[in-house]
Structure 1
């Protein structure tokens, strides 16, 4: 038998066994079951055409979602041995989504602050935090990824700063994280608390802390300069709480009103101490902002 005949016989044997070869390796020449095809697309996800936004099985068919041109999609699926596919055209590509929640951490390089409140001006979205914190960073990150750039700060004299929310994946919320003290509460507006009233703040360092308002319109002098018109609160402070949201005490309820942003303090949560609060009305007015409320 000639060498050519041997090769032809070997090829026939391969086809008879129901095998073919692709760049992904040997796969069945028979159409793959949709579930098998799904697994093969999953394994070949890194090679997908740019327009492909996902795939799934529906009513016994393997469906590939495409935004824009479907050129090369069926060939890609066939090359992976996924079998026949149905192309579904979608209007937009999916994107990851994460929530901006007051009291959660925000960072820029080595600077760590706390997300104060979410706010808006027209279609633009912002995060308010402490001015001395925001001025120390340029591009900010949140718990879900990139947040946006610092666009303004006022410190000393005042202590508030502004970060523009540039990430389309970040969803602005009216929620305040209470960590281990209970479910999130919802900001419904702003308030100026009277002396003697109870307020709370939230930060990733100290969690949910409450205390009483013992004074308003106080001037506090830090090494960098003096800040005016602060609220004095008996809630204990901790480093890293700068910019934390201060709200009215919800008691057994689920709603609160925004009071201000943690500026600084003295003492600690071990020995007790005082927290100084930048009232929220000032940055809202200065920047022409409206709180995100629920």
Structure 2
């Protein structure tokens, strides 16, 4: 993401948009999908409102939910459940209930099996509520014995998992791009935040270590020092501004305008999101998975990521993923590019803010 310089050293947010994991405009193909009784009214919701309802229902159902996603075509929240009692609770709340085969606990167990038996560089996995499966993706570097091992583990999980192949290579998107600079490389600024009353910004943790200085141009004067950096495991970092650099809460749209950012929010499968980055500027996409695990190789495994169809390239790391005025994620890595497409993963912003004790601002 590019850290846009404006008059009087005003540091704009080079933002990247993240796609929400709520499936958009699809046809329900699962054979065991249920029909809602007509006496229940399905609410028309925005993606954000659907995400809030999903969170509320998840707590109410106490394990009776098997995931949820947003149907953008009908503007409805679809909640996977395993029995009619839970389905009635969903319908009464205005959601669309869908009875599925696998519980969330079963899919979580499948993820744990993959973690124990198939931690292989170049792989990722995330729960897909649309298919009610754990989707395992292997990039082009997974070959030979590694591919065979991965295939056997996925096969042992039966209908709870499926294996896909990515044409690209999973990697953090560090190098390249005209963005924020440090001695270790170039990245993109994510979102401006406030911590203890002082201005900071957040970016990707893999971009640098605590104590590193950041500038708007290579070799230019420092605008801030990295106060904290967490990678692997997580992928977020906090930089404290120095000097007179201004810090508007906005994302650069690269068309002469900016998107104001007023809050942070959680992603939902099916949510349409945007990413802003210094290399490829602004691109749109959709969230396809939540709580994704990706293995970038060399022991760099990151968990709890948002998986999307938004493209990204080296230099976009750390940039903003957003939906309207809501900060959603920070660009972590992925495969492919903005010509051929691919998968991109984002660190959720709410988690980073909670870890740092910071707020959007």
Give TM class, smaller chain: 0.5 to 0.7
State the number of aligned residues: 189
2:311–2:343 Cα contact (<8 Å) kept: yes
Among 342, 345, 356, the alignment partner of 1:273 is 342
Aligned-partner Cα distance in 2 for 1:155–1:273: 23
2:11–2:248 Cα contact (<8 Å) kept: yes
For residues 78-113 of structure 1, give each alpha carbon's deviation from its aligned partner in whole angstroms, at most 9, with x where no partner exists: xxxxxxxxxxxxxxxxxx832121117210125101
> Who is 1:282 aligned against?
351
Aligned-partner Cα distance in 2 for 1:157–1:110: 20
For residues 175-223 of structure 1, give each alpha carbon's deviation from its aligned partner in whole angstroms, at most 9, with x where no partner exists: 110113x621100101112111101111110010110000001101112
Local SS of the residue matching 2:246: strand
2:210–2:226 Cα contact (<8 Å) kept: no
> Who is 1:235 aligned against?
310
Aligned-partner Cα distance in 2 for 1:274–1:237: 8
Aligned-partner Cα distance in 2 for 1:291–1:100: 15
1:192 aligns with 2:266: yes
> Who is 2:276 aligned against?
202
CA RMSD of aligned residues (A): 1.8
1:111–1:137 Cα contact (<8 Å) kept: no
Aligned-partner Cα distance in 1 for 2:302–2:205: 11
1:201–1:244 Cα contact (<8 Å) kept: yes
Once the two structures are TM-superposed, the CA of residue 275 in structure 1 deviates from its matched residue by 0.9
Aligned-partner Cα distance in 2 for 1:285–1:110: 26
Once the two structures are TM-superposed, the CA of residue 172 in structure 1 deviates from its matched residue by 1.0
Once the two structures are TM-superposed, the CA of residue 139 in structure 1 deviates from its matched residue by 1.0
Structure 2 regions of 5+ residues with no counterpart?
1-6, 16-178
Once the two structures are TM-superposed, the CA of residue 173 in structure 1 deviates from its matched residue by 0.7
> Who is 2:250 aligned against?
175
Local SS of the residue matching 1:209: strand
Deviates more, 1:222-231 or 1:271-280: 222-231
Asked which structure has the greater RCO (Cα within 8 Å, sep 6+), the reply is: 2
Aligned-partner Cα distance in 1 for 2:340–2:334: 13
> Who is 1:97 aligned against?
8
2:203–2:237 Cα contact (<8 Å) kept: yes
Once the two structures are TM-superposed, the CA of residue 146 in structure 1 deviates from its matched residue by 2.1
Once the two structures are TM-superposed, the CA of residue 120 in structure 1 deviates from its matched residue by 0.8
Map residues 5-154 of structure 1 onto 2, 5 A cutoff.
97-103=8-14, 105-135=179-209, 138-142=212-216, 145-154=221-230
Please tell me whether Structure 1 or Structure 2 has the larger radius of gyration of its CA atoms.
1
Aligned-partner Cα distance in 2 for 1:160–1:261: 7
Aligned-partner Cα distance in 1 for 2:200–2:251: 16
> Who is 2:147 aligned against?
none
2:210–2:229 Cα contact (<8 Å) kept: no
- Larger fraction in strand: 1
Aligned-partner Cα distance in 2 for 1:209–1:136: 30
Among 148, 152, 155, the alignment partner of 2:231 is 155
> Who is 2:123 aligned against?
none
For residues 132-152 of structure 1, give each alpha carbon's deviation from its aligned partner in whole angstroms, at most 9, with x where no partner exists: 003287111026842111111
Aligned-partner Cα distance in 2 for 1:283–1:190: 10
Aligned-partner Cα distance in 1 for 2:312–2:238: 22
2:211–2:227 Cα contact (<8 Å) kept: no
Structure 1 regions of 5+ residues with no counterpart?
1-95, 251-255
TM (norm. structure 2) is: 0.50
2:320–2:331 Cα contact (<8 Å) kept: yes
Aligned-partner Cα distance in 2 for 1:191–1:123: 21
1:119–1:128 Cα contact (<8 Å) kept: yes
Aligned-partner Cα distance in 2 for 1:134–1:97: 27
